Amino acid sequence: MNNSEPPNHEYYLNSSISFFKKNFEKRINFLKKKNFLFKEISGFINNCIDSTKNIIIFCAGNSILGKNIKSNKIFIKEIDEKYEIKYNDKINYIDDNWKNILPECDTILISDIEHQSNPTSNLLNLSRKINNDTKIIILSKNMVWMIIIKLLKFFFNFSPKKNNFLPSSYLENLYSICNLEVIRNEKIIALPIYIPFFTNLLNRIFRLPLLNIFCLSSITILKKKNKDFSKNDELKVSFIIPCKNEENNIKTFEKEIINNNQSYEYLFGDDNSSDNTIQEIDKLSEKLSEYKIIKYNGPGVCKSENVYKGIDLSSGDIIVIYDADLTVSFKDIEFSINVLKETSTDFINCTRMIYPQKDGAMKFNNFIGNSFFASLFSLLFKKKITDTLCGTKIFYKKDWIKIKKDISKWGVKDLWGDFDLLISAYKNNLKITEVPVTYYERKENETKMTSVISNALRMLYIVLAAYYKLRMKR
C-alpha cells in the first residue's frame, strides 16, 4: 500500500509469508474447525455495512471471511495464491492492481494488520487514496487475548509466532497519525471455542456494556479525518419545518428569514392544523416572494412522518430539521451548518443541555426524561449524546438514502423522529457530532410533547429494540 508500489512480498512480514506458505494444509484445517468463528465475525460486519456496494478485504490466510460477506462485489487480496479459494461467485481475488479497484469500493476491510510489514505507512497511504465517504474496517484483538493467543501459538502452531503486537487499545494512536478517525467500535467473540448453543448464547451476552471488555475481537470503523471542504460552500440548504397549530409562531418567521441567507429553501409542512397555520404560511410566502418558501401537506400521522415527507420534497444538499416554535436561534443554526461544512462531521445533533436554558424553556419532566435517555443512549451505543430529543438536526441529503431505509425499524414507530434519525445515523456509520445551542422559551403556544409516560415507554422500547438488532441479533 505504499506510494512506491512495492512488490507483493514487501506488504507482509517475512515470517508471516513463510508460515502461510509452509502450513497451508494445517491452516485450512484450522479454518474449517473455526468456520463458526469467521461466520460470526462476517455476520456482525454485515450489520455494519449493509449499504456497501463493493468491498476490498485484505487477508492473511483468512479469506474465508469473504464467504458470508454481503456486498455486490467482493475483492480479496491474499497472502498467497494457495488461499485464493472461490467461496462464492461474488469473490474476486486481486494482486497488486488493487489500487485501480479502490475508487469503486466504498468499504475496505483489513483483517491482516498484525501481519503487515508497515501498517502505519500502509494506512496513511490508504487514507490518501480513498474517497471521502469510504469506510475502513479494522479487525483487531484486545491486549489480554493477544497475550493468550501468543502463548497458544507455541502449542498449536495455527498462526505465525512473530507478528505485530497491535492490541485494539493502542491502535487509536496509529489511526490518528494516519489521518483517520474512529466512527464506531464494536467488540465481539467472548468464547472462540464452539460448544453447541452455549457459545452463541455466551457471545451474545458478552456484547452487553461492561461485559464486552472481555471480548476477543474488536471491529473498528474509520473514516478520513481531513479532506477538501472547499466545495462545501456551494452546497444548498433546505429547512424542514413541521407545523401543527403554529399559527402565531409562523408570523415570527418573517424577520428571521429576512436576516438569514437568501439562498436557503424553507419547507413548511402543515400537519392538519385546526387553526390558521396554512393561511399564515401562505401570507409569509406572498410577503417574501423573493425567498424560496414551499408549503406542503403533512400526512397527519405524527411529526416524524411530516419531517420525512419534507426531506423527500427538499432540493437542498444539506437538510436542517427546525421546529416551528423558534426555540433555537437562527444564529446557532448558521454556526451548526458551518460546522457540518467545515469538518468531517456527517450528522449534527444540536444539544440544549450544555448552555444554560432560558427560564421556562423546558419542563422539568421533559428535562429528566431527556437526561435519562441521553445517558442510556451513550451507554448502549458508546457514543456520547447529551440531548436525544432536540428537534434540530442537520445532515447531508445524500445520507438520507441510507438513513431512510432504517426508519421505523426499531420496534415501534417513532412519533417524533429523533431516535429514528440518531440510531439510523449511528447504524450507517455516520460521524455524529453535538453542537451546543441556547434553548429559548417558546414564543407562542405550548410544547406538543405532553404524554410523558407513554412517550417515555415508547422511546425506551425503541432504544432497547435498536440495541438488540444492532448488537445482539444474529
Q: What does the pLDDT look like over 47-63, one tens digit per residue?
A: 999 888 999 999 999 99
Q: Give the three cell numbers for residue 64.
A: 474465508
Q: What are the backbone dihedrals phi and psi of residue 281, each rounded to the nearest 5 degrees, phi first?
A: -65, -40
Shared domain for 196 and 246, answered yes or no, is no
Shared domain for 238 and 164, answered yes or no, is no
Q: Closest Cα to residue 234, out of 291, 292, 319, 318?
A: 318
Position 445 confidence tier, pLDDT thresholds 50, 70, 90: low
Contacts of 89 (CB under 8 A, 6+ apart): none
What is the separation of C-alpha 143 from the centre of its chain, rounded to a whole number of angstroms?
Answer: 26
> Is residue 110 included in any domain, yes or no?
yes
Q: What pTM was estimated for this model as a whole?
A: 0.90
Q: Residue 206: left if φ>0, alpha if ψ -120 to 50, beta else—which one?
A: alpha
> Is residue 1 included in any domain, yes or no?
no
- List the beta bridge partners of residue 347: 395, 432
Position 323 confidence tier, pLDDT thresholds 50, 70, 90: very high
Position 7 confidence tier, pLDDT thresholds 50, 70, 90: very low
> Is residue 2 included in any domain, yes or no?
no
Report the pLDDT averaged over residues 428-432.
95
Report the pLDDT averaged over residues 262-278.
94
Shared domain for 119 and 237, answered yes or no, is no
Shared domain for 202 and 291, answered yes or no, is no
> Is residue 365 included in any domain, yes or no?
yes
**CA dist list (Å): 104 to 54, 75, 179:** 7, 11, 21
> Is residue 100 included in any domain, yes or no?
yes
The answer on pLDDT for 181 being more than 60 is yes
Q: Which amino acid is at 5?
A: E
Shared domain for 81 and 193, answered yes or no, is yes
Shared domain for 184 and 260, answered yes or no, is no
What is the separation of C-alpha 313 from the centre of its chain, rounded to a whole number of angstroms?
Answer: 24
Position 338 confidence tier, pLDDT thresholds 50, 70, 90: very high
Pairwise CA distance, residues 351 & 388, whole Å: 8
Q: Closest Cα to residue 416, out of 318, 308, 328?
A: 308
CATH number, domain containing residue 269: 3.90.550.10
> Is residue 67 included in any domain, yes or no?
yes
Report the pLDDT averaged over residues 259-272.
93
pLDDT one-digit tens code per residue, 62-92: 999 999 999 999 999 999 999 999 999 999 9
| Residue 469 DSSP label | I
CATH number, domain containing residue 215: 3.40.50.150
Report the pLDDT averaged over residues 441-451.
62
Give residue 446's pLDDT: 56
Shared domain for 328 and 403, answered yes or no, is yes
Shared domain for 339 and 213, answered yes or no, is no
The answer on pLDDT for 9 being more than 60 is no
The answer on pLDDT for 452 being more than 80 is no
Shared domain for 29 and 158, answered yes or no, is yes
pLDDT one-digit tens code per residue, 146-155: 888 888 887 7
Residue with cell 423546558: 362
> Is residue 71 included in any domain, yes or no?
yes
CB 409 within 8 A of CB 423: no
**CA dist list (Å): 136 to 57, 190, 384:** 10, 24, 22
Pairwise CA distance, residues 437 & 435, whole Å: 7
Shared domain for 162 and 260, answered yes or no, is no
For the ranges 20-24, 149-153, 187-191, 461-465, the lowest mean pLDDT is seen at 149-153
Q: Give the three cell numbers for residue 1.
A: 500500500
Look up the domain containing 339 and give its range: 230-472
Position 2 confidence tier, pLDDT thresholds 50, 70, 90: very low
Mean pLDDT of all residues belonging to the chain: 90
Shared domain for 286 and 431, answered yes or no, is yes
Report the pLDDT averaged over residues 229-250.
92
Burial zone of 378 (CB within 10 Å; 0-12 exposed, 13-18 middle, 19+ buried): middle
pLDDT one-digit tens code per residue, 383-403: 889 999 999 999 999 999 999
Shared domain for 164 and 262, answered yes or no, is no
CB 197 within 8 A of CB 205: no
CB 466 within 8 A of CB 410: yes
CB 188 within 8 A of CB 204: no
> Is residue 150 included in any domain, yes or no?
yes
CB 272 within 8 A of CB 299: no
Report the pLDDT averaged over residues 323-347.
94
Pairwise CA distance, residues 340 & 435, whole Å: 10
Q: How many domains does the chain have?
A: 2
Pairwise CA distance, residues 224 & 255, whole Å: 39
Position 8 confidence tier, pLDDT thresholds 50, 70, 90: very low
Write down the number of H helices and E strands in the chain: 17, 14
Q: Which value, to the nearest 10 degrees, does the dihedral of the CA atoms of residues 330, 336, 338, 339 take?
A: 170
Q: Which of 224, 242, 274 delimits the end of a domain? A: 224
Q: Which of 183, 205, 224 delimits the end of a domain? A: 224
The answer on pLDDT for 268 being more than 70 is yes
Pairwise CA distance, residues 244 & 343, whole Å: 34
Give residue 4's pLDDT: 42
Q: Which of 158, 191, 224 delimits the end of a domain? A: 224
Pairwise CA distance, residues 77 & 93, whole Å: 6
Pairwise CA distance, residues 334 & 332, whole Å: 5
For the ranges 154-158, 305-309, 327-331, the lowest mean pLDDT is seen at 154-158
Pairwise CA distance, residues 407 & 409, whole Å: 6
